[in-house]
Structures are given as C-alpha cells and as structure tokens.
Amino acid sequence: MIWSVRNATQIPTCFYKIVPYVVTLVVLAFTSRSSREPRSSGLPYKKGGK
C-alpha cells in the first residue's frame, strides 16, 4: 500500500521540463500589459538627426 501511494504522488519528469516555459509565458503575459510601443514606430528613419 505504501508503494502505490508513493508512486501516485510522484510527478513525471516531463512536467519538470515544461515548468520554465510556463513560467516564462506567465511573466511575459503580465509584463506585456504595461509595455507600450516606441513613439517612432512606423516612421521612416531620417539620417542626420531630427
């Protein structure tokens, strides 16, 4: 009985390999809400300053 309970609580190693990707997606989802696009996005580049 102890053997079956112990095996039931073990997490497969594939889930440990997925954790960094899930954490990255969650962090990007929360930080992207507060980010804005650059002011000059879509404007042509003019060499020599403003």
Q: What is the pLDDT of residues 3-47, one digit of tens each?
A: 555 555 677 888 889 999 999 999 998 888 777 777 777 888 888
Q: Can you give the length of the chain in residues? A: 50
Asked whether residue 2 carries a pLDDT value surpassing 70, the answer given is no
Q: Where are the beta strands (DSSP E) in the chain?
A: none
